[in-house]
Amino acid sequence: MTRFAAPIAEQIWDMKYRLRDAGGQPADLSVEDSWRRVARDLARVEADPAAWEDRFYHALEDFRFLPAGRILAGAGTGRDVTLFNCFVMGTIPDSMAGIFDMLKEAALTMQQGGGIGYDFSTIRPKGSEVKGVAADASGPLSFMDVWDAMCRTIMSAGSRRGAMMATMRCDHPDIEDFIQAKQDSARLRMFNLSVLVTDAFMQAVKDDGPWDLRFGGKVFHTLAARDLWNRIMRATYDYAEPGVIFIDRINRMNNLAYAETIAATNPCGEQPLPPYGACLLGSVNLARLVREPFTPQAQMDMAALDDLTRTAIRMMDNVVDASRFPLPQQAAEAQAKRRLGLGVTGLADALLMLGLRYGAPDAVQATRDWMRAIAHSAYWASVGLAQEKGPFPLFDAAGFLGSGFMARMDGDLRQAVATHGIRNALLTSIAPTGTISLYAGNVSSGIEPVFAYAYTRKVLQKDGSRTEEEVVDYAVQAWRDLHGDAPLPDHFVNAQTLAPMDHVAMQAAAQEWVDSSISKTINCPVDIGFEAFKDVYLAAWDQGCKGCTTYRPNEVTGSVLSVAETAPLPAASDAEVVYLTEPLDRPAALEGQTYKLKFPGSEHAIYITINDIVQSGHRRPFEVFINSKNMEHYAWTVALTRMISAVFRRGGDVSFVVEELKAVFDPRGGAWMGGRYVPSILAAIGGVIERHMVATGFIAGEGMGLKSDPKAMAAEPPRGPACPNCGQYGMRMVEGCMTCPHCGHSECG
């Protein structure tokens, strides 16, 4: 008998969390071995390791408590890895030396696979004076380009993908450029962007008042607050970015408001963090705690929820001591505050099993009740740990109890904190759980609604063939096990059919009892009007959310995976690009264009000739010639000419050549060209080839991929973008991240 509820769950475990030796052979022979490895490692800091190992194992057993993927993959391996998921880096100084010191720290953190967040509001605006060098500042956006190039380089070196979050205050003079930065589809591809919105700004929006953009005590520009708000909303409506973070509310509610000021979050937004703050994540699987599902007696096992939460808090507290960190500042910050982020997954499935419709008032109340129970159990557990092991070093009773969040707690708990202290400064957060939710049997992610009740995925076999496999939502499978092919009840709803305000109500109910924040995507229909769309954000503000992220499918953002209400998804058509078995013969004459590239700092220009072939009325690149008078360039330009031309002549989707070239980072330094940071000569060549492809109609725009490829014919449109990891179609926006339902790959790491 297998512990896995679905084949995809076992495949995720084998691919991501199973320990293997140096030769690639499995060291964990079963998932039970993985649970034992993690439990033993997290129990080793206890006075009685054997007793706690068994309790920790029981919490992990049957996927009831799901530590974040880094803990599952790294704990007990003996490897020099961090068990923390994401970091907010140090405050960026407004100086060239300080900025590049921060870049180095970011590279070291991302090298270990950590996602990072930054507030770029501390860098002076574009055009302001730089004293002593007779120059004007290039502004924070130009340095964000440098970070973006660094992230591409770290990824190209084979490291685990690490996403980045960039924030900027709503009163920074460059905020308008920040809002529209990603409307250039080739720019800042490694970043999520969010605007830090203040209480004063929201009041100015409601009052239709003026708004000053300022830096260093100087007002650079004044505009109507409502006009700036509409620009944020229009960018999000059309491009799904930037997100909105209600930063004053975050700081007001923060238990540590007396010791820190927050100005950034991790990449998915569920962890607002101070400089060098780190997020340690884990989730209680609510779907596994429902007793007698789909019956009149169905109920959440509150006693089991309490016990599991208390055990999970102890396990996660031990991770603080067991983990390594990329930087010493991160270790010091984690030790001083012992911040945790315990959340939930499977909430939507649990509601379905209890007969509750996601977003309905009774489901909203159940969510509030469950999250309140988890918060109280977590805080009581942390008070107990403080009695046993001591409170976190920066604990101050008056400051801690004076926070907005602690004001909600019961009097007996507040008194216990005042008497004994508390082990962990913050304890709850709802993080993206896409991959671990698949691992747990395809339970619904975080507090998101069920996205698809069933879909078909193609599985690559060892002999190269592909088989089809149905992936069924956990609650749907539980219904089938009890009722066979009986139709799903009316309370079964999914992300495609829910009204946006139902999403907001659920997020607000959960946020009431979460001391950090929540990663959640509010899915909006493509035909939602702009005014109704803006109302979603105002509702999130009015109902107490700490941020808001929406996704409206359109021609720019792409469509989401379409699903039938009660039927499995039909398999996506075989839309793979066709690659030729033999290269194309060269015609006697080809149309082409020669471009001159003068890279700053280089003595000689580089000349790039791109010749095209016409097939079925479509023009596509066929060969490249790269020449320079600089003999130091001779060997690599010849090699590049031959390699790129060979790829072009094989046909198929060759736009990846551009992306690979543009990702090359020269450690000696890149250059600003045309107001944009270009990380290397090779990246500049990639930009030339890309612009040629755009000019000839081969791709629709910078970074937008193929526009019309006669070799890539499909019987029907893809059901969502293709996954860069497994190649299957159906990428969808979940918890603020484009996520693959087939393999669990997430653009946020």
Decide if pLDDT at 583 tops 60: no
Closest to 147 measured CA to CA, from 86, 182, 100, 82: 100
Cα 746 to Cα 200, 311, 344, 574, 740, distances in angstroms: 35, 29, 19, 23, 6
pLDDT class of 154 with cuts at 50, 70, 90: confident
Task: Look at residue 705 in the predicted model and tell me its pLDDT.
Answer: 56
More confident residue, 281 or 733: 281
Contacts 24+ apart (CB under 8 A), 659-664: 659/686, 659/703, 660/156, 660/686, 661/685, 661/686, 661/689, 662/152, 662/186, 662/686, 662/687, 662/690, 663/149, 663/152, 663/153, 663/155, 663/156, 664/153, 664/156
Cα 596 to chain centroid, rounded: 39
| Tens-digit pLDDT profile for residues 360-418 | 999 999 999 999 999 999 999 999 999 999 999 999 999 999 999 999 999 999 999 99
Of the segments 365-369, 468-472, 692-696, which one has the largest average pLDDT value? 365-369
Percent of the chain with pLDDT over 70: 88
Decide if pLDDT at 710 tops 50: no
Average pLDDT of the residues of the chain = 87
Enzyme catalytic residues: 266, 268, 270
Task: Look at residue 713 in the predicted model and tell me its pLDDT.
Answer: 33
Closest to 101 measured CA to CA, from 133, 138, 147: 147
Task: Look at residue 577 in the predicted model and tell me its pLDDT.
Answer: 38
Asked if 473 and 454 touch (Cβ cutoff 8 Å), the reply is: yes
Per the DSSP assignment, residues forming a β-bridge with 244 are 195, 548
| Tens-digit pLDDT profile for residues 247-262 | 999 999 999 999 999 9
DSSP state of 132: T
Lowest-confidence region among 190-204, 515-529, 551-565, 593-607: 551-565
Task: Look at residue 592 in the predicted model and tell me its pLDDT.
Answer: 86
Lowest-confidence region among 106-115, 396-405, 463-472: 463-472
Cα 350 to Cα 80, 211, 493, 551, distances in angstroms: 37, 45, 13, 24
As a dihedral over the C-alpha atoms of residue 245, residue 248, residue 252, residue 255, rounded to 10 degrees, the angle is 40
50 Cβ contact partners less than 8 Å away, ≥ 6 residues apart:
43
In the block, tokens 């926070």 appear at 403
DSSP string, 360-427: SHHHHHHHHHHHHHHHHHHHHHHHHHHHHH---TT--HHHHHTSTTGGGS-HHHHHHHHHH--S-S--
Decide if pLDDT at 5 tops 80: yes
At 293 the three-state DSSP class reads coil
| Tens-digit pLDDT profile for residues 121-138 | 999 999 998 877 767 899
Per the DSSP assignment, residues forming a β-bridge with 88 are 117
DSSP state of 578: P
Task: Look at residue 561 in the predicted model and tell me its pLDDT.
Answer: 41
CB atoms within 10 A of CB 535: 16
| Tens-digit pLDDT profile for residues 8-40 | 899 899 989 999 998 889 999 999 999 999 999
Q: Quote the CA–CA distance of 352 and 450 in Å, as a whole number.
A: 9
| Tens-digit pLDDT profile for residues 418-460 | 999 999 999 999 998 989 999 999 999 999 999 889 888 777 6
Q: What tokens appear for 245 in the block? A: 């973070």
Task: Look at residue 720 in the predicted model and tell me its pLDDT.
Answer: 65
Asked if 189 and 738 touch (Cβ cutoff 8 Å), the reply is: no
Is the peptide bond prior to 242 cis by the omega test (within 30 degrees of 0)?
yes
353 Cβ contact partners less than 8 Å away, ≥ 6 residues apart:
287, 290, 293, 294, 298, 475, 478
Q: What tokens appear for 573 in the block? A: 């058509």
Map 715-732 to HEC letters: CCCCCCCECCCCCCECCE
pLDDT class of 288 with cuts at 50, 70, 90: very high
Decide if pLDDT at 679 tops 90: no
Task: Look at residue 460 in the predicted model and tell me its pLDDT.
Answer: 64
Q: Quote the CA–CA distance of 167 and 140 in Å, as a whole number.
A: 11
Query: Sheet of 606-615: strands edge to edge?
Result: 591-597, 606-615, 618-628
| Tens-digit pLDDT profile for residues 162-220 | 689 999 999 999 999 999 999 887 789 889 999 999 999 999 999 999 999 999 999 99
Asked if 517 and 271 touch (Cβ cutoff 8 Å), the reply is: yes
